[in-house]
Structure 1
Amino acid sequence: MKPPLRIAILECDTPPDELVAQFGRYGQVFRTLLEAAADNLGVSGFSKDDLKLSAYDVVTEQKYPELEEVDAVLISGSKHNSFDNDAWILKLVEFTEKLLKQDRVRTIGVCFGHQIIGRAAGAKVGRSEGGWEVAVLPVQLTEKGKEIFQQDTLSIHQMHRDVVFEYPEGVDALGGSPRCLVQAMYKKGKYITVQGHPEFHEAFVSHLVKMRNKQGIFNTAEAEDALSRAGQHHDGLPVAKAFLRFLLED
């Protein structure tokens, strides 16, 4: 795929108002990440100016790009359940199935988006018996994962208790963790996904953890544990660079 890369970001949720005021909606959050990755990719002549990014609210407005007008679709994370059958989720799954059946537009999935791609590809998705993964945690990479992310280890922000239980047919496993065996998937020329959040950072995650502690989603011990790891090194930028290399692959 040749630049410019026309990437449509499907916003499957909206951050809390305080985070929107600081960092924008998820379209802007991913723009910040992808532009930084483009400028650090090390590909001669390629920079953030070669990205043509657009955002679509698929929850409330339920708007989608025309496939002939984009080269890639990124499906964001969400507080919603990928296995639910709300009308907008079924519409998203149907759109994703359409993506997976064609061969030009490539797909990127992050957290909820990773699960939606899994569901659209026929894999089982649902609530993990292992419970939550929150804040910076290690992912054990496969040999293919080391190749794709161009490093031997991976640490990434997490914010989930739902998982993809199995790899769809024909997919390369990129990594796993004790509570989530399917952490990342790759299918050449089709899609790349991660269960974690490369777009998250300490301020973003700390706000979410404190908010969910007040809401009773995380107890105090869970919140304190997550906050103790929120500022640790994470590989969001290397993951985003892997996304871009995937899009630039022949």
Structure 2
Amino acid sequence: MRPPLRIAVLECDTPLPNTNCRYNGYGGVFTALLTASAKALNHLDRLGPETGLQISKWDIVSGTEYPKLEDIDAVLLTGSKHNSFEDVPWINRLVEFTQSVLAQDRVRLLGICFGHQIVGRALGVKVGRSNQGWEIAVCGMDLTEKGKELFGLDRIRIQQMHQDIVFDCPPGVALLGSSPRCAVQGMYSPGRFITVQGHPEFTQEIETEIIQTRTKAGVFSEDQALEALSRTGNEHDGVSIGATFLKFLRED
């Protein structure tokens, strides 16, 4: 029997109150996604949280401790309300740690939204504000040939919540897909990393809480919020994307 798959979730933010109460941090949100994805693969016996899937959570915003690479098999960088391009101590430390993961060939890397951008920054490409504005709620992602091969789909539907982007795919890295508002929706390097700009881990409830909170804060207009809220419950491929993550982490 294979040893447990040890995934360190680097929590780059704290969820909003309702989500945090239900999941106890983004580590809990991703545990729910990956468990559902293992079940979809019929691998729950080998990848369940009580058997073959060991997830540790690391608060890297207020804390300074990171996992030791010899103790884990994969690192997952979560989304965040913070800006991936900022020159602040905790983000700089995260970029440096990500570079240390990329510099070796055993521990694999998953990057989601902010985490996708951090991987881009660690690889030396520009990250920052898009001139296309926000991409919110369930949106379509057109896949490249490599994206179709990897995800086993012709097109992906995924929850989105971002206005920052990776501007270019780094040299030697495969582009996975794009959308009208974001040219680099995902990146892939065999045996090293997979990233996506969207949020496969977001449910309708999580997305709705963020939209409503940001609308009250004046980030989104009422019209913008209503249009986005009309799409938060649309069918999406989050579990399928999580299954692709697990297959990638288990590949020899």
- TM-score under structure 2 length normalisation: 0.96
Question: Aligned-pair distance for 1:43?
Answer: 5.2
Asked if structure 2 preserves the Cα contact closer than 8 Å seen for 1:140 and 1:176, the reply is yes
Structure 1 residue 44 displacement after superposition: 9.4
Summarize deviations over 1:200-243 as a string: whole Å, max 9, x none.
01011111101100000000011001100000001100110010
CA contact (8 A) 1:3 1:51 kept: no
Counterpart check, 1:184 vs 2:186: yes
Tell me, in whole angstroms, the C-alpha distance in 2 between the residues paired with 1:72 and 1:34.
13
Residues in 2 aligned to 1:96 and 1:247: alpha-carbon distance in whole angstroms: 17
RMSD value, Cα: 1.2
**Secondary structure of 2:20 counterpart:** helix
What residue in structure 2 maps to residue 98 of structure 1?
A: 100
* Structure 1 stretches of at least 4 aligned residues deviating more than 6 Å after TM superposition: none
SS for the counterpart of 2:226 is: helix
Q: 1:163 to 1:138 in 2, by over 3 A?
A: same
CA distance in 2, matches of 1:18, 1:248: 33
Cα distance change on mapping 1:105 and 1:134 into 2, 3 Å: same
Report the secondary structure of 1:81's partner residue: coil
Letter in 1 for 2:29: V
Equivalents in 2 of 1:107, 1:148: separation in Å?
Answer: 15
- Match of residue 74 from structure 2: 72
Q: Secondary structure at the match of 1:95?
A: helix
Q: Any conservation in 1 of the 2:16–2:209 contact (CA below 8 Å)?
A: no
- Segments of structure 1 that go 5 or more residues without pairing to the other structure are none
Residue 91 (structure 1) shift: 0.3
Query: Which one-letter code corresponds to 1:12 in the other structure?
Result: C
Query: 1:45: how far off?
Result: 5.8
State the TM-score, normalizing by the size of structure 1.
0.97
SS in 1 for 2:230: helix
From 163, 166, 170, the equivalent of 2:165 is: 163
1:207 aligned counterpart, secondary structure: helix
| More deviation, 144-153/154-163 | 144-153
CA distance in 2, matches of 1:171, 1:42: 30
Q: How many residue pairs are counted as aligned between the two chains? A: 249
The alpha-carbon deviation at position 38 of structure 1 amounts to 1.2
**Range that drifts further, 187-196 or 18-27:** 18-27
CA distance in 1, matches of 2:57, 2:84: 20
Choose the corresponding residue for 1:127, options 126, 129, 134: 129
Contact 2:185 2:198 in 1 (8 A): yes
One-letter identity of the residue aligned with 1:101: A
Moved more, 183-192 or 39-48: 39-48
CA distance in 2, matches of 1:95, 1:47: 26
How far residue 47 of structure 1 moved from its aligned partner, in angstroms, is 3.1
- State the shift of 1:72 in Å: 0.3
Deviation at 1:28, TM superposition (A): 0.5
How far 1:46 moved relative to its partner? 3.0
Quote the offset at 1:31 in angstroms: 0.5
- CA distance 1:27–1:44, shift in 2 (3 Å): closer
Distance across 1 between alignment mates of 2:123 and 2:7: 21
